[in-house]
Amino acid sequence: MVFEERPPLRVVISDPKAGKLGKIVKVKVVGVDDESLEVKESMKKTKDKERTELPLAKVPPSLVKELQLDEIGVMTLRFRQEDKKINVPLKVIPDENVPDGTVQVHMELIGEIVGELEAEAEAFRAKAWQIAVPEEVAIRLAGLEIGDVFDGDIIGKDYSGLRFKIRGGSDATGFPMHPGVPGSIKKRALLSGPPGFRPRRKGERRRKTVRGRMIPDPRGERRKTALAQLNVTIHYSGEESEE
């Protein structure tokens, strides 16, 4: 079976420090015709396609400092439109020429979001975002298990210098990886809690189908049962005692 017949592996990245920071700043988002902020096809997310990299934004150094963006460099802009909120994760580019309180994005991006070239938004350090990785990356991750830590440059140059800890995942049919099941096979296991089962009463246990704790080699997976999502957190030094 060729790779094109299998969905790409989605990697959901969580930043545990972002939730602790809790800082939200109101900003003016301005759309500009800046080639360095161009929205490439790899940055677009649709119903049929996952993005492989985040869109870009230029921000003033003051915002980088206030939101502590220098560690990870990923920010979320939250736009409020009538009764809904639109969250857009962005890779930030510090730029001294951007006025304080302002964020610059490409005019195409803000036009698609709000239909205008300027809008108010809330900016905060991204708590989580998602990218898709090609098969060669999934192959390099094969054999790692829940709890393992790996270098960020495996999934892309934007994450060089970071480390990620594997928390879990699920396949295309929704069956979750389980830390108590060895290997990468599916099996029915007797569970007393998540992942895979949420008891409604104390002491309740049930047999549920789950996947093993190991990331499989995608070349041996079928489309309908392939691992579709991998959940990781940014692993900061000295975190073992906190977890």
Q: What is the mean pLDDT of the chain?
A: 88
Residues in Cβ contact with 95 at an 8 Å cutoff, skipping those fewer than 6 apart: 58, 59, 60, 104
Residue 241 reports pLDDT greater than 60: no
The radius of gyration of the chain's CA atoms, rounded to the nearest angstrom, is 20
Condensed to tens digits (0 to 9), the pLDDT of residues 1-43 reads: 444 456 789 999 999 999 888 899 999 999 999 999 999 999 9
CA distance 166 to 164: 7
* pLDDT score of 3: 43
Q: What is the mean pLDDT of residues 142-148?
A: 96
CA distance 146 to 144: 7
Condensed to tens digits (0 to 9), the pLDDT of residues 128-140 reads: 999 999 999 999 9
Structural domains of the chain, with CATH: 16-130 (2.40.40.20), 134-234 (no CATH)
pLDDT confidence bin for 89, thresholds 50/70/90: very high
SS3 content of the chain, % helix, strand, coil (to 5): 20, 40, 40
- What percent of the chain is predicted at pLDDT more than 90? 62
Condensed to tens digits (0 to 9), the pLDDT of residues 177-195 reads: 998 889 888 888 766 667 7
- What percent of the chain is predicted at pLDDT more than 70? 91
Q: What is the mean pLDDT of residues 139-144?
A: 95
- Helix-then-strand count for the chain, H and E: 4, 13
CA distance 27 to 30: 10
Q: Which of 59, 37, 30 is nearest to 119 (CA)?
A: 30
CA distance 28 to 108: 16
* pLDDT score of 2: 44
* pLDDT score of 203: 72
Q: Is 100 helix (H, G, I), strand (E, B) or coil?
A: coil
Of 1-10, 26-35, 67-76, 86-95, minimum mean pLDDT range: 1-10
* Side chain identity, residue 6: R
CA distance 210 to 122: 39
* pLDDT score of 196: 67
- Cα 240 to chain centroid distance, Å, stands at 22
